[in-house]
Amino acid sequence: MKKKFLLLVTLFLTASLNSTKSPTVQAQSKVYNPISISTGNYEFSDRLSDRDIPTGEGGFARDYYIKLKEKERIAIELTSDEFDTVVMLIGDDGTTIAENDDGPDGTTNSLLFFQIVENGKYIVRVVSFGETGGGKFNLKIDRLQTINQCGDCLPIKKNSR
């Protein structure tokens, strides 16, 4: 009798475990894929939203890949009337190289000047500061030209007194 009872309990537990459905797990459909920026100067308008990278501070970020060359000088300007901007330049290894929160004009817009020290792919990150959320923004990247070092200039003579 004990053997029949144990057999029934075992069959019941086995049937119960087999009929239990495991929860369905779905992966996120969005993969990190920064937007590639072409060579030359670049200017465009875009929108930062809750579908971008959450910063953990209530704001969001969006990344753009750009190829830069050693000794190249760049100016990155990020402006918005809808959120407090922060612009970051990040190396391909994820290291923050430079960043700017508030530009020299006294607004919450961002302006960053930098000279590249080695060839490579870099990330320009558009960030909304703190809990300012997101909204429309303008991003401008200028590759600055070096002025001719006066190879044809006349030397300046000092006054002799």
Taken in order of first residue, the domains within the chain and their CATH numbers are 41-144 (2.60.120.380)
User: Is the pTM here over 0.85, yes or no?
Assistant: no
Task: Provide mean pLDDT across the span 116-132.
Answer: 90
Under the banding of pLDDT at 50, 70 and 90, the label for residue 149 is: low
Instruction: Give the model confidence (pLDDT) of 14-63 as tens digits.
Output: 544 454 444 444 444 466 778 888 767 888 899 998 888 888 877 889 99
Under the banding of pLDDT at 50, 70 and 90, the label for residue 134 is: confident
Residue 38 tokens, joined: 């072409």
The answer to whether residue 65 scores a pLDDT higher than 80 is yes
> In one letter, which amino acid is 59?
G
Residue 69 tokens, joined: 């060359």
Q: How far is CA 21 from the centre of its chain?
A: 40
- pLDDT in the model for residue 26: 47
